[in-house]
Amino acid sequence: MLYAAEGREAGIAGQILILGYTLPDQFPLLARYSLTQTVVDASYARQLEGCGYPLSVHVAVDTGMHRLGERSENRENIYSIWTKKNLKITGLFSHLCAADGVSGRERAYTERQIAEFQSVVKDLYKRGLCGFKTHLQGSYGVLRYPELSFDYARVGLALYGVYESSQESRDGELLKPVLSLKTRIVCVKILYPGETAGYGMAYRAVKKRKIAVAAIGYADGIPRALSGRGHALVRGCRVPVIGRICMDQLLLDVSEIFSVSPGDEAVLIGRAGNEKILASDVADQAGTISNEILSRLGKRLERITAPVSAENPSDTVPVSCR
């Protein structure tokens, strides 16, 4: 809710749909900022109706994810939402829970969800209830089921040109990365044999090493799970993360680079020279998916938007750096 209000205050004039729950004491903000609220079930519709003033809403239907939405088989409950005079229903949607899957089981379940959603839409039309937009697909719904033709699509991850896994990134041809995550080297020093670096003395030098301190850490969204296993690109070379990632810094072994200086760029996601690190590579190393990596990138990171380059699209919008 608060992010939606911030977006409106920042000048976003289009429809902003809150894809979740808003507390009743925040209902006045929905009207003040002309926000569209998700009706998470029939009982929530009654709460929204009870606020006493008109609200724009989209109705969520649970077709099998069993998260938000009135269950699709509860047709009377769904129909009853249209009787709420204070609710201006401008949309109906559901959420596919296995659209990214390619197994027979996952595809069959997704196809059942699609059919169930289409059935609800058809029944509403039969009852004379219309004038609302429909949406079902997220990024993988669009990529895996492009033949569907609903009014909207909730594309998130694909807007960044990112796949969930590095294997898909290598095999996929539709998406090209447009996001880079960069920081700066702030200090370079020598570590002598037997010396340790970072919290818990987690890294010990077995021979003389040159290390660099980069100004980014887990408070910026870098998973601490990348301690001792992640990588960065410095002067076009891939270098390892050593020791434990800190709140505001991480350490890199730059021994193999001839010249590294404070102020040099370190790329956590993106390209440098002939090397590249994809968001999905970072996700694989951290034991998660690209969605989590990108959603963790916090407000402390400066966002810089650059023109799209046809020659090198992966060094373009948006760029995050400190």
- Tokens 């995550």 identify what position? 181
d(CA 297, CA 244): 19
Same domain? 148 vs 289: no
Same domain? 191 vs 290: yes
Same domain? 189 vs 59: no
Q: Which pLDDT score, from 0 to 100, does residue 320 have?
A: 34
* 305 burial level (CB within 10 Å; 0-12, 13-18, 19+): exposed
Same domain? 187 vs 133: no
3-state secondary structure of 252: strand
251-262 pLDDT, tens digit per residue, is 999 999 989 999
Q: Which pLDDT score, from 0 to 100, does residue 166 have?
A: 76
* 165 burial level (CB within 10 Å; 0-12, 13-18, 19+): middle
Query: What's the domain count of the chain?
Result: 2
Going from the C-alpha of 11 to that of each of 6, 30, 131, 245, the distances in angstroms are 9, 16, 27, 37
Q: Which pLDDT score, from 0 to 100, does residue 212 have?
A: 98
The answer to whether residue 161 sits within a structural domain is no
Going from the C-alpha of 99 to that of each of 133, 146, 200, the distances in angstroms are 21, 11, 42
Same domain? 146 vs 49: yes
* Structural domain ending residue among the three candidates 121, 155, 189: 155
Same domain? 202 vs 133: no
Q: What's phi and psi for 100, nearest 5 deg?
A: -80, -15
* 299 burial level (CB within 10 Å; 0-12, 13-18, 19+): exposed
Domain region containing 85: 2-155
Supply the CATH number for residue 200's domain: 2.40.37.10
User: What percent of the chain has a predicted confidence (pLDDT) above 90?
Assistant: 87
The answer to whether residue 112 sits within a structural domain is yes
Assign 318 a pLDDT band (cuts: 50, 70, 90). Answer: very low
| CB contact set of 242 (below 8 Å; sequence gap of 6+) | 197, 198, 203, 211, 228, 251, 252, 253
Query: Which of 177, 277, 296, 298 lies closest to 234 in space, CA to CA?
Result: 277
Going from the C-alpha of 204 to that of each of 110, 144, 194, 285, the distances in angstroms are 50, 47, 6, 21
Supply the CATH number for residue 138's domain: 3.20.20.10
Same domain? 191 vs 148: no
180-218 pLDDT, tens digit per residue, is 999 999 999 999 999 999 999 999 999 999 999 999 999
d(CA 78, CA 314): 44
Same domain? 111 vs 191: no
